[in-house]
Structure 1
C-alpha cells in the first residue's frame, strides 16, 4: 500500500528538489502498471508554501496521473549500486523512481545479490515478487491498524510462495511521516487494558509519561511507547497469525543481511 503525496507535503518536497537540484520533478503519464506517487497538478499553493518559491517561480503543471518520474539511475548511480553489491551491502529502493528501482533490481538480479530492502511501503507493489525472489525483505509503513492488516493479508500469498519467515513495519517518523492514528470505530472492540504480550511474559497497562497517561484507542500511536498497543489493536482485527509474522520480521531482515554479506 503506497501513500499518496498530500499537496502540502508533496509541494514542499518538490520545492526542495528545485532548491537543491535547480529543477522540479520531471514526470510523464505512465504507460505500464508501475507508477510513482501522484503529483498534484492543480490548485493554488497555500501562502506559507508559496513563500518558499523563488520570485517569479510557480509549481509546474503535470500530465494526467498515474505519474512516472522521467529520471532513472545515472551512470554514477549504477556505479554506486555495483559498489554496494561488491561490498555486500543492503540496497534500499524506497523513494527511488520506478525507473531507477527497476534498473536497480536488474543489476541486483544480474549479480544474484539478495541485499535489497523496501522498508516502508514506497516501492511499487509490482516489484515485490522480484524483491522476494532475490531474498530481499519488505516491511510496511506504520498505517492505521485496519489499513496495515489489509495490506498484510493481501501479501500473505506472496510471502508463502517465497517462504518468507516474517513481516515487518517501518514507522518512518521524520516530521512528514505520521504515526498510526486511532482505529476508526474502535468503540465496538477496543484494546482493553491491561493486555498480555504476545509471548505471555508481560502484562501491559496504559503507558504513562510524566503526568500523562496514554490510550491507543484515543491517542493512536502518539509515541513509540504505544507500538505494543498498536500491535495488540491489530491482533484484535487479524488474530495471532499477524503478530506471529511481526515477531518473525527481525529474522527475515537478518536472513537478508547475512545473505548479502556472504
Structure 2
C-alpha cells in the first residue's frame, strides 16, 4: 500500500486531496512541509501530496522553494473544491458557540458567516483539521472549528453549518510528488511545470517569455521567488500547456539560450475542477 506524506493533520484538505488521488493509500501526517519532502527523499514515504496554490489566497511560496531544492518530480495534479464547515462536539448547538478557531486563511474566507454571527469570536489556529482535533481533545463545548467534512468524520465531531465559505469558486491545486527516478513518462501529459532564472541583463526575461509565444505554447502561470542570499535576483516558476513532447522539448531547448538555470519540475495531465 502506497504511503503518502502530507503537511497537516488527518482530516486536512491535504489529506482529502491525497485520498482523492490515491484512495487506498496510507497517509502520513507531518508537522512541517520540509519534513514531507524529506520523508519522500529518504524513502519513508512513497509520495507526497502538497498544495501549491489556492484560487483565492494565491500560491504557497514555501512549496515552490522546496520543489527547487529537492529531487522530487510532479507526477499528477488535482483541483480540490474547498468547502468550509463549522464543526463542534456532538450535541453542541450553534447558539452555544462563543468562538471559532481555524487556520487564518480559512477564517478569512468565511467573513460573511462571521458578519451574520457577530457573537462568535474568531480565533486563529495552526491548522484547519488541527482545530477540530483540539476542541475534541479538550472537550470544549464553547468552541467550534472551521474545517473539512473529512475532519469532522476523523475526530467524531458534528457539522453545525456546512458550506460557510464566502465564495464557492474556492479551489486548491495539489501536486502529487515522487522521487525523480520513480516517475514514468506520461504519454497523455499536456502540461509542464519548470523553474528558471535569467541572466541579469536588460531584456532577458522578455526574451525568455517570448519563447513560449514563438513555440505556440500557452503560458498559463508564472511566479517569481527571491534567490536566498542574492538580493534582487529571482527564480521564476512557470506552467505551460503542450500539445506533444516534441513541442515541450523545443521550448525548453530554446529557453536555454536566455537562462542561467532551468529545472523541469514535471510533465503531467492538467486537472479538471471537482464540482
TM-score scaled by structure 2? 0.24
Determine which structure has the larger strand proportion and give its number: 2
Q: Highest relative contact order (Cα 8 Å, sep 6+), 1 or 2?
A: 2
Q: Which has the higher helix share?
A: 1
